[in-house]
Chains A and B, each alone.
Chain A
Amino acid sequence: MIGFDPTEEQALIVETVSQFAQNEIRPVARECDESGKLPDSVLAQAHELGLVANALPESVGGGGERSAVLGALVTEELAWGDLAIALGILSPALVALPVAEFGTDAQRERLAHYAGESFVPGALALQEPRFGSDPFRPGCSAERDGNGFVLNGSKCQVPWMDGDDTVLVFATLDGRGEGFLVSRAADGLSAERERNLGIQALPTATLSLDGVRVDADARLGGDAGCDLSRIVTQGRVALAAAGLGVSRAAFEVARDYAKEREVFGVKVAQKQAIAFKLADMAIEIDAARLLAWEAAARLDAGQDALREATLAYDQVRRVALEVADGAVQVFGGHGYIRDYLPEMHLRNARGFASFEALALV
């Protein structure tokens, strides 16, 4: 049956997260961006909501209720509050969800760690700092060495918060992309803190892997490996949702400003040039959201959703940029000033052009 409203239970969760985004995240977003730091107390509070733990298996203390649709709904709300903080809050999923889905029994034991009392961040390394980086074909290589592997290459846009010792690195093994659970302190691995156009509050790193040796049991899923395509699909749904959160935030801020500010004796919103721009934003955001939901619903139904997720993400990349740029424009000169949110939305929105698997559902 076709339907467009969430279940009562989903609605309740969305409402809670929305309140959290409004009351806890939004007020500190600007300051976090300027200082380049995530708010520890907000991350801790968010952890108590159990958003990631809820999706983990019951056997490790999770809620056993993984749903891409719910993930998308929640991610949009958090990112509405602030993208960098949302990505920080959701980071445990970057390691926990792939391990839950593909991990060997031994690997799954570590999941309890992410569902525990305190917040544990996650780090996933897929994107690479080179022209034409391609998530399906990592340039980073894994070669068999005795009963382990040796990794070589570089990675970027890797969330790099203190509090965990593992990073899930994707590398090409026998022509396929595979995941490896690598100790952050491994010999040959070095991390350099990045500075980016946006998501400045989220610590991210560029990694160099220079002959990093891992044991055989570091390979995600053991000999069976993992399905990178599915991880990329999940990432695109999550990022589409996050992009929608940024878009909606930018749209709302612009709409409210346009209804407040006067030019030539009328409200800015009464100028058709602006009214139509706002109308376009609303149309595009809703359209893109439905694409993202459809992809998420397919994931939940166990269907392949690479095409749907990719189309959704492609739309969101464009929509987020256009909406955020439009919001700056609606604010006029004030949009260029860092006292107001639109310029930050613009910097964050542009990131979707290069983000891959920076969030997962």
Chain B
Amino acid sequence: MTISFEPTEASKAAREHYRKVAEEQMRPVSRKYDDEEHTLPKEWVDWFWQEGRHGGPRPTDGPGDGFIQVCIQAEELCWGDAGLYLRMPTPALGGSAVSAAGTAEQKKKFLSPFREKGGHPIWGAMAITEPQAGSDSAAIETTAELDGDEWVLNGTKIFCTAGEGASTVEGGFVVVWATVDKSAGRGGIKSFVVPAGTPGMELVGTEHKLGIRASDTATLRLENCRVPQDHLLGSSAVKKKDPSKTGDKGFKGAMATFDASRPIVAAMAVGVGRAALDFLLEELERQGVRVRYDAPPAEVTALERDVMEMEAELQAARLLTWRAAWMMNHGKPNNLEASMCKAKAGLAVTKITQKAVELLGPLGYSKKLMVEKWMRDAKINDIYEGTQQINQLIVARRILDYPSAMLR
């Protein structure tokens, strides 16, 4: 046991590798796909499918930092472009759900196509949010009814990341949350794998957004959409009183996937924030402005204060993120720490990127540079995977030891 912040050689190699990918494959098309909002970023997607996904060190290579390495990858690629990162043909959050709650057969059936050589790019996605239910995910109204040996899904999902690709391109899938018994509340909520192209799942459209415009954020309609019985993830048992005691990976299990995904989102945030901060520091250097870390208090300039605060906030967010990921590596419950890092990172990079635009003056505001884009991209990190307020709520419950009934 030791306190150390030194990444392993494998992690360093991963960082170098993904930094290069970000520089060579993402940055050159970053502005283009911000402008051309609903166009498939073909260069990137094809490259990733043909080469990107096979290259690169794996988190499991050698004695590694495990999950921290996944965070490092997310940071580097989002330093490249967060929208393109979300457009990568991978199982994404849908994959996390299948990995967390699926059986061995389910994992093989739904995830192995993403590893096969050749073929064409495919996507996975997770659809929880509905028009009337965002933060309050237990309030979803999409229903699943068993009819013979098939589940029949009905409802509308919004804001589904990668939902366009995952719902339409053969081979991909959407993990849809639905209730099998409304009266059971959260105990009745289950998740279902709906393969792309399943009749009854319709892509209604994609959103126009502030940022991460290269990412397809879809509205999906499910109308008598039928999937085989074994597409349910986890058990179908509904326990009304205490869903946690079903030994099921239904609602609670699904919520637990957030403990893994929040550090990744935090790492993505850090990547966007770092893009802006790196650029700012380079620009200051070009201008001959040096930040003094040893200036007498009365002489510290406003600019130096701002930069030091930005640097400190970013690093604090990164370390909280690594801690949450490290806890996962060691099988420690990290629900508190996952929300801490997500809350910190989402807000820190929102402010860092906004500050960078400010400090660069009219240059920061102009689309000639990328800083304004990073400001737009950064904000989503304070919203999805639990808003700032929801993550604060989770942290508060944990530190106060209050159940959700006492603090909501």
Q: Which of B46-54, B90-98, B148-156, B202-210 contacts A (4 or more CB under 8 A)?
A: B202-210
Is the beta-carbon distance between B132 and A264 smaller than 8 angstroms? no
* Chain B proximity of A127: nearest CB distance (Å): 5
If A337-B208, A347-B210 touch, whether A133 touches B136 (CB-CB below 8 Å) is no
A354 to B354 CA separation, bound complex (whole angstroms):
12
Range of interface residues on A (Cβ < 8 Å): 35 or more
Is B216 interfacial (CB-CB < 8 Å)? Answer: no
Q: A133-B362, A332-B387, A354-B364 are in contact. Are A343 and B354 (CB under 8 A)?
A: no
Flag if B287 contacts A132 (CB, 8 Å): yes
A156 within 8 A of B: yes
8 Å CB interface, B164-207 against A? 207
In the bound assembly, the distance between CA atoms of A347 and B283 in angstroms comes to: 22
A46-54, A55-63, A195-203: which lies at the interface? A195-203
Contact of B358 among A336, A337, A353 (CB under 8 A): A353
Closest residue on chain A to residue B158 by CB atoms: A333
Assess whether B134 is in contact with A333, with CB atoms less than 8 Å apart: yes
Which of these binds chain B: A102-110, A233-241, A321-329?
A: A321-329
In the bound complex, residues from chain A placing their C-beta under 8 Å from that of B365 are 157, 196-198, 350-351, 353-354
Chain A residues lying within 8 Å of B210, measured Cβ to Cβ, are 328, 336-338, 343, 346-347
Q: Please report the C-alpha to C-alpha distance between residue A338 and residue B209 in the assembled complex, in whole angstroms.
A: 5
Report if A273 contacts B (CB, 8 A): yes
A356 (CB) vs chain B CBs: closest residue: B362
A75 CB to nearest B CB, Å? 20
The reply to whether A353 and B384 contact each other, CB–CB distance below 8 Å, is: no
Q: List B281-299 residues whose CB lies under 8 Å from chain A.
A: 283, 287
Q: Is B389 an interface residue (CB 8 A)?
A: yes
How close is B31's CB to chain A, nearest CB, in angstroms? Answer: 10
User: Could you mark each residue 381-408 of chain B with 1 if its beta carbon is under 8 Å from any beta carbon of chain A, else 0?
Assistant: 0111001110011000000000000001
Shortest distance between the CB of B386 and any CB in chain A (Å): 10
B134 to A263, Cβ gap below 8 A?
A: yes
Is the CB of B17 closer than 8 A to any CB of chain A? no
Q: Is B87 an interface residue (CB 8 A)?
A: no
Interface residue ranges of A307-361 to B (CB < 8 Å): 317, 321, 325, 328-329, 332-339, 343, 346-347, 350-351, 353-354
CB distance from B285 to the nearest CB of A (A): 11
Query: Is A129's CB under 8 angstroms from B358's CB?
Result: no
Chain B residues within 8 Å of A271, by CB: 389
**B-chain residues with CB within 8 Å of residue A346 when the two chains form the complex:** 210, 379
- Inter-chain contact B354/A321, CB cutoff 8 Å: yes
Q: List 9 A-B contacts (CB under 8 A).
A: A128-B362, A263-B135, A273-B392, A273-B393, A329-B387, A333-B158, A336-B209, A350-B365, A353-B358
Give the 4 A-B CB pairs with smallest separation, nearest first: A353-B358, A197-B372, A195-B367, A343-B210
Given contacts A131-B283, A353-B361, 5 further A-B pairs with CB under 8 A are A157-B365, A197-B375, A321-B354, A329-B387, A350-B365
Binding site for B on A (CB under 8 A): 127-133, 156-157, 194-198, 262-265, 271, 273-274, 317, 321, 325, 328-329, 332-339, 343, 346-347, 350-351, 353-354
Q: Which positions in B face A, CB cutoff 8 Å? A: 129, 132, 134-136, 139, 158-159, 207-211, 283, 287, 350, 354, 357-358, 360-368, 372, 375-376, 379-380, 382-384, 387-389, 392-393, 408
